[in-house]
Structure 1
Amino acid sequence: MSEEALPAARVADSQQARLLLDVSLRPLISVLMGRSRSASEVARELGLSVQRAHYLLGKLMTAGIAELDSIQPRAGRAVRRYRVGPRWFVPFEATGAETLHAFLAAQIMPRMELFVKLSLRQIGDVYSHWGFWLEHSEGSGSLNLGDPTGRARELFEGDEPFLFNLGSMHLSSRNATALKRRLLAVLEEFETLEDAGGTAYALGLLFAEGRME
């Protein structure tokens, strides 16, 4: 979709920025951006109590982020459906962060902590006793998870749907761009295969100039 065809973006104030950038509220905001939902639908999709869903919707309504989309009459209490505009711009000065570093850390670190917890749960399902292997590999020390018999090749390189790779490589600018394009293409390909009834998987792609120590 071209920029001209996109809906107009709303500019967040400081109160809205605090909620829009709250990592814990991102799943709720994302589902309300997709289509309108009732409190009971929000509760069911996000695994919340209906009372908690009403509370969070009230916070978004008070801040002017969520809007009442429709009221559907029914016997007893009418069903209220809420939505959030699909495009927002959050000016840096509205974030309250002192630096860009502080802002990015606040956004990324909670997700990294969650990713570590999810990874450890999956590792624990495969290994009852594990540790670390520090081995010389291609001019540097390589730290790998494993058990006393060796590093966990079957976990990281086998068919288990799990990856936790941190490292560095030396590439020309051309090849670095090619790698980025290929990773994005693979991501786009599998996004088209996404099944709402399938297993949820956490995914992160990190790629930046520099050396991972």
Structure 2
Amino acid sequence: MSSTRPELRLPKMPKGLRAPFRIPFLRTLGPGSVSSLLKIALDVAYVLLMFITAVLLLVLLASIFIPLTDLNITVSNDSGGTQQPLTRPLLLFGVGALTAYFGGFLLILRNLRMIFRTLTIGDPFRPENVRRLRQIGLILAVVTGGVWLVQGLVAARLAPGVMDSQGVGELLTPVFSVLVVFVLAEVFKEGARLRRESELTI
């Protein structure tokens, strides 16, 4: 006496829904993809930021020679403000800090452009991208620490009681961003290793 088990059949999906939903013109990698559009946006931002940094460098050089007679600087908030004489060390410190800030993001954009160039050609897992991501994380950490330090110095020396220094809680988002970049660097490192092993296997 033989028994047959009933066969379980799943209902067939409509023909148009069998393949994953895709939008042909929204590819993430390769020429004509979203990565190539972002690469163009990064190129424009890089040129603009390069111009701003160059102007700040010229202002920094001019700050060494321009006369500063009877010039004051006012730092204010909603409840009031304070006025300080504009000295040459203060001017050089302010313009130099601003130049370093934009220069740091210029270096970040430079590395991002190189990374998105590899995404545009469809080859992201390259060893040099690991180095670029680590540089981005390091520069972002330096810029974040520099902003925190400068704002604390300004709040303590230039505008006490008018400007507040950044608290530790305000560092959580930048620190999280730095950690994410370093984690991405390790992901790219693992991807590059797997790619190299597959090439050796073939």
Task: Report the TM-score when normalising by structure 2.
Answer: 0.23
Which of 1 and 2 has higher RCO (CA within 8 Å, sep 6+)? Answer: 2
Greater strand fraction, Structure 1 or Structure 2:
1
Greater helix fraction, Structure 1 or Structure 2:
2
Task: Report the TM-score when normalising by structure 1.
Answer: 0.23
